[in-house]
Chain A
């Protein structure tokens, strides 16, 4: 199939990487990168860390300036929303009714913040954090604020809490679950991070949620929770997870199920359309059923994979070990694999010193490694998971000594 015209919808990291990889692999056709974000493609992770803290400016997190796209003949169209896909004619349509032809369409449309239930509208003092525009607004608002309430104790909420606490704000995190970072991490890891944050002045209300948002002159002044707690709040940030942007695909008749459905090669049922990154769910040997890892690594690796297929014409299974990282108040968390169906864990290292790893097993087979300030464990774990070697627990229920390398686990071939 000729791939003369590639249209990439979404100018996030995944979309950017597809365009760059196409060119670096020698693609000679037309590359159009179009999205509704008005900014030049940028790094997302720093938006809740260094950028939010004012430690770096926009230029530092912008991947490339305009001249790069011109030089590499990538037609970058910013601030334009694609509203429909006309599959029979292979065109996408923008909100101002312009039509763009494609031989292959890559959907890298990402995800958007999940609104708070019963409080779907953002008003003064109420914020989301997803885009650079959000982060710029928040950074300014954070300066002016004194009482910060963060709705959602997941990775994003906790990274934000760390920045706000470091600036001396009164910070409270409200989380519906009894554990931080929800189902994504083990109890041991959640507990370590909770202590780390509490030592830095962050308060937690777990098993609770927002009931009423108190306003004065249309600005937030406080929160009353379901459990009846009353909090002062002049800045409320909703970090309650993201939902994949599936509308475009769904309207075009593509299957969606926790994301745009793609196969193991990241193709939709339409041979001319691929989807990847935060918007796409795919089958993986690392998960039970389909997965949609919300990680930068996944987005970038999938982008390279799809670009490779478009240039070479060869289909191959996307088989990269999913991995993820978070940096909260200087405490580093790295996760290799996914914790679907974990039925047994082993903790290795020094939990008190917050330098340890948790190995998760499913039916006697290692499926995930969570590492706190332990990059060597993380790298070893990632390599082991990549080989597909079945690693079984050394002894059921026994924590191993600090510093025992993962290779010492009993490893069976195949």
Chain B
């Protein structure tokens, strides 16, 4: 199998394992609760305070923190694609 094909297979496998985090930035009001809950996955834009996703496919050990962040967000900005 070619190297490129191996790499693609590996990526697909990773994506299947991990859930994709989506944020509706238009709704974000910069409360920052997501950053408190999952600082390795979410950050705030330094100028606007709006959410930035650091890991679009969070590591498995981040999943619980990410779900917590989604529940805490007062504007319900965070959702998942599974």
Contacts and interface: CB of A to CB of B under 8 A. Distances in A.
Interface residues of A, number: 25
Query: Chain B at the A interface: mostly helix, strand, loop or mixed?
Result: loop
A236 B19 CA distance: 42
A63 to B, nearest CB: 6
B27 A327 contact: yes
A375 B49 contact: yes
Interface in B46-81: 47-50, 71-72, 74-76
B71 A379 contact: no
B29 A325 contact: yes
Interface string B19-31: 0000000111111
Given A46-B76, A379-B48, A334 B26 contact: no
Q: When A and B form their complex, which 3 residue pairs have the shortest distance between CB atoms, in order from nearest?
A: A379-B49, A375-B48, A325-B29
Contact of A56 (B28, B50, B76): B76
Interface of B: 26-31, 33, 47-50, 71-72, 74-76
A297 interface: yes
Interface of A: 43, 45-46, 49-50, 56, 60-64, 296-297, 300, 325, 327, 330, 332, 334, 375-376, 378-380, 382
B29 A327 contact: yes
Contacts, number: 50
A375 B74 contact: no
Contacts of A43: 71, 74, 76
A50 B68 CA distance: 18
A282 to B, nearest CB: 21
A208 to B, nearest CB: 31
B48 A376 contact: yes
A64 B67 CA distance: 11
A62 B29 contact: no
Contact of B50 (A49, A300, A375): A375
A378 B29 CA distance: 10
B74 A45 contact: yes
B31 A297 contact: yes
A334 B33 CA distance: 16
A330 B72 CA distance: 20
Contacts of A375: 28-30, 48-50
B1 to A, nearest CB: 43
Given A56-B76, A327-B27, 16 more contacts: A46-B74, A50-B76, A61-B76, A63-B72, A64-B71, A327-B29, A330-B26, A332-B26, A332-B27, A334-B29, A376-B47, A376-B49, A378-B30, A378-B49, A379-B48, A379-B49
